[in-house]
Every structure is written in structure tokens, then in C-alpha cells.
Amino acid sequence: MSEKRDTEREEIEWVFGLTGGELADKPWAGHKYWYEGVPDYAGEDFADDEEGTQYRTVVCCYACSNPPDELGDEEGTYKLAKVYSNSGETTCPGHSDQDNAGRVTEEQCPLCDMKQGEKHGYIYLGDGWAEAVYKLEPPEEEDDD
């Protein structure tokens, strides 16, 4: 795994508030950043669904395209339920509002790109990043005719 990919993953974790190990380790349906369930802040949007409904959330840049309407795997077909856009930026975890605190100690911060001695700044992924929530559709029941 390359250093850039490691940095991108960590940047995504901070920008989307997924620093608790939520992101899956292996790609799913062609997407390298995803997790089981829905975003914490979006729980109300799915409160009326049946208990046990399965969701997967893909974190991806959709600046030049829309998320696919469906994704599938051996479990079945997941249909796009909702998309939550994001600014693509957040304050670097090393940042501090205090004058002499929050300074970069290494040559350059891998997250916010500030140089040694400068104050930590912002992590910026870029425009177009979003969380696309997919719902596992129940299998179609066969007629017994």
C-alpha cells in the first residue's frame, strides 16, 4: 500500500468523522472507501426502516459523475438510498487556536501539508466528496405457481 493511499485514507477518516475504524479494509463493489451502516448524523433519515435492514455507505468523489443507482455483491443488490455531500475539508487534528500550540514538528504535516514550524491548517480533499448510502434490497420472492 502506498504512502499516498495511506494519507488519503486518513484524510477521509478525519474529513468524514470516521476515525474510529469504521472504514472497511477491503474494497467493495469497486469502491475502496466504504463502511457498514449509515452516517451517524443521518440516522433519523432511516428511522422508519425495518429493524435489521442492511446499509453500506460509500465515501467517494462524485465531482464528475453521480453515484451508481445500484451496487451488487454475493449478498444481493444494494440500491442507492441517499447521498450526503461534504465540503471536503476539516481542521487538521494537530491544529490549535492557542498562539504557540499546534505547530508542525515534522518536516511537513502529511494531512494539512503545512511545513515545520507553521501552525497546522486544514485537511482538504477537494470538491465533490460525498457519502452515498446503499440499502440491501430483499430478494424477490418466487411465485409457487
Torsion of CA 119, 122, 124, 128, to 10 degrees: -160
Give Cβ neighbours of residue 16 (< 8 Å, ≥ 6 apart).
Answer: 39, 59, 86, 129, 131
* pLDDT higher at 70 or 126: 70
Q: Which grid coordinates belong to 143? A: 411465485
Name the least confident of 13-17, 130-134, 136-140.
136-140
Give the domain ranges of the chain: 3-93+127-136
Q: Name the pTM for this structure.
A: 0.85
Residues 74-118 pLDDT 10s: 999 999 999 999 999 999 999 887 766 788 999 999 999 999 999
* Nearest Cα residue to 7 out of 120, 104, 125: 125
